[in-house]
Amino acid sequence: MKKNMLFSLLLVITISSAGMAQSGSTAFSNGDNLLNAGLGFGSPFFGAGYTTSLPVNPIVSFEHGVTDAISVGGTLSFASSKYKYNLVGANYTFKENAIYVGARGSYHFNQLLELNNNIDLYGGASLGYVIVSVSDNQGYSGSAASAAGFGLFGGIRYYFQQNIGVYGELGYQSLSVINAGITFKF
């Protein structure tokens, strides 16, 4: 009886593994949903003299594969900075927060370059809106300089499991220059 149970368990695991290997034969394909959660570094949004309130910018993005090479979706990120002006008898602090909400699209080079099934190499663009709010230590609080935002980026995902991996992106994306984090495929 124990041998039959053990044999049945091994058979189920083998069949399941074979099915998973076939269904996840490429790192990206039509119908895939990709969810990225990460951190952005190197914000080009704030000028000289500013210090970041957060050392990194949280970012979340989602994409859906509309073909075996093209995905479309959305992105949301946040950045915050502070500017301090100190003179004898006068201290002024100015804080600025920015939220980027946008659409994004990517072209995946996997089939074109015949890449390893664990690697997803892509490039893309984003277009959205940057919502900016400001406040200072003198009591002012409001919105200012909100405007259209855009981005061009190149990225790579490495799947260490069929549906879980890590990603990195380089390029101008409104609130950061480098993004890195974890990615989920479902």
**Model pLDDT, residue 46:** 63
Q: Is the pLDDT of residue 3 over 50?
A: no
Residue 161 is classified by DSSP as S
Q: Which domain CATH number covers 159?
A: 2.40.160.20
Mean pLDDT of 155-171: 95
Question: What's the pTM value of the predicted model, to 2 decimals?
Answer: 0.77
Q: Is the pLDDT of residue 9 over 50?
A: no
> Can you point out the beta strands (E) in the chain?
33-41, 50-52, 57-65, 70-87, 90-108, 119-136, 141-143, 147-159, 164-173, 178-185
Which residue type is seen at 138?
Q
State which residues form the domain around 105. Answer: 2-185
Question: Which are the contacts of 17, defined by CB distance < 8 A and separation ≥ 6?
Answer: none
Q: How many domains does the chain have?
A: 1
| pLDDT tens, residue by residue, 14-54 | 333 333 333 446 789 999 999 999 999 887 666 666 666 66
Classify residue 75 by burial, with Cβ atoms within 10 Å: 0-12, 13-18, 19+. buried
User: What is d(CA 55, CA 110) in angstroms, rounded to the nearest whole number?
Assistant: 33
60 — pLDDT class (breaks 50, 70, 90): very high
| pLDDT tens, residue by residue, 125-135 | 999 999 999 88
Residue recorded with tokens 């996997």:
110
